[in-house]
Amino acid sequence: MEKLLTPQEAAEILRIRPDTLRIWRRRGVGPEVCRVGRLCRYSPAALEDYVEQSTKRRDNDQDQRSPSDEL
C-alpha cells in the first residue's frame, strides 16, 4: 500500500493552499479523497490522476476554441 498524504502534503505537491483542497472536497471536485475515520487523506496516484485529467480538460478546451476566441 502506498503512503497516504495529509491535505497539507497534497496541497504542497499541487502547489495550492490546503484551504483550496477543503473547498474542493465540499464541492465534490478535485483529487479523489480517502477518508480514514474523520481524517482526509490523498494517495499520490489520486493526485497524479487529477493533474492528468485537469491537463486533458484544459487541452480539450483550447482545441475547441476558434481563432476568433483568442482576440
Q: What is the pLDDT of residues 37-61, one digit of tens each?
A: 999 999 999 999 999 998 887 667 6
Model confidence pTM above 0.85: no
Any domain includes 16: yes
Any domain includes 70: no
What is the pLDDT, as a whole number, of residue 6?
98
Any domain includes 32: yes
What is the pLDDT, as a whole number, of residue 62?
65
What is the pLDDT, as a whole number, of residue 71?
47
Please count the other Cβ atoms lying within 10 Å of the Cβ belonging to residue 5. Answer: 20
Identify whether the C-beta of residue 6 lies closer than 8 Å to the C-beta of residue 43: no
Any domain includes 67: no
| CA–CA dist 47, 7 (Å, integer) | 11
Least Cα distance to 10 among 36, 34, 42, 32 occurs for 42
Number of domains in the chain: 1
Any domain includes 34: yes
* Mean pLDDT (the chain, rounded): 88
Any domain includes 71: no
Is 64 a residue whose pLDDT tops 70?
no
Per the model's pLDDT, the better-predicted residue between 27 and 58 turns out to be: 27
Any domain includes 43: yes
Any domain includes 65: no
Contacts for 44 with CB less than 8 Å, ≥ 6 apart: 2, 3, 5, 13
